[in-house]
């Protein structure tokens, strides 16, 4: 069952759904919460000539030389460009809910997608949500941190709440639990 505005507000008021910084009631719509864009953006660097392809495995997230990180108030998303961004809000999903992050129609109408293929937010997830943004439009779009609301979070009550050991983040394979960046940064030495 998808949560409606009164249920979302109740979950927030009771502290079951944790969102930091807090969202104002005007950002809670009929069945979703509007999320703002954060200041962190990550792009895949121009690959070196010796790199014919990549493989999707855990080493991709620790290959720091493949990623370029930016922390700034604006990011220009050019036609054909892809960027990993994050929501300003850190979301903590309770054991009885799952979330779906979706783009907003106003963004789609200018050709900007918000998530390519990963809308599901598992129970127990606790971090800002990474947005997989691409510009399929014909003009550049300036992304403005803390102003733009490109995504919305839809919450679904699951059939049976999960136990602590079943929540996202309980297993070592839960790579993105507690993420602070779209792709991990190399630790500063």
Which of the residues are catalytic?
132
Cα 139 to Cα 110, 111, 112, 188: the distances in Å are 8, 9, 10, 36
Q: Are 149 and 105 in contact (CB under 8 A)?
A: no
Question: CB burial class (10 A; 0-12, 13-18, 19+) of residue 133?
Answer: buried
Helix intervals (H) in 14-78: 59-62
What span, in angstroms and rounded, lies between the C-alpha atoms of 63 and 111? 30
Question: Who's near 100: CB < 8 A, 6+ residues apart?
Answer: 119, 120, 121, 153, 154, 156
CB environment 138-161: b (16+ within 10 A), e (fewer): eeebebebeebbbbbbbbeeeeee
């Amino acid at each position: 069952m998808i949560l409606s505005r009164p249920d979302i507000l109740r979950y927030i008021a009771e502290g079951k759904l944790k969102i930091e910084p807090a969202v104002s009631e005007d950002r809670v719509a009929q069945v979703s919460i509007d999320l703002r864009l954060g200041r962190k953006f990550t792009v895949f660097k121009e690959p070196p000539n010796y790199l014919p392809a990549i493989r999707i495995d855990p080493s991709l997230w620790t290959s720091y030389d493949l990623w370029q990180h930016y922390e700034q108030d604006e990011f220009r998303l050019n036609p054909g460009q892809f960027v990993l961004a994050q929501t300003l809000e850190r979301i903590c999903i309770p054991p009885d809910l799952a979330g779906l992050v979706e783009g907003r129609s106003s963004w789609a109408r200018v050709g900007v997608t918000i998530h390519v293929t990963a809308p599901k937010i598992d129970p127990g997830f606790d971090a800002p949500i990474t947005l997989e943004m691409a510009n399929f439009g014909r003009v550049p779009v300036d992304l403005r941190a803390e102003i733009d609301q490109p995504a919305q979070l839809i919450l679904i009550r699951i059939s049976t709440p999960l136990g602590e050991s079943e929540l996202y983040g309980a297993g070592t394979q839960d790579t993105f639990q507690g993420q602070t960046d779209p792709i991990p940064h190399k630790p500063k030495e």
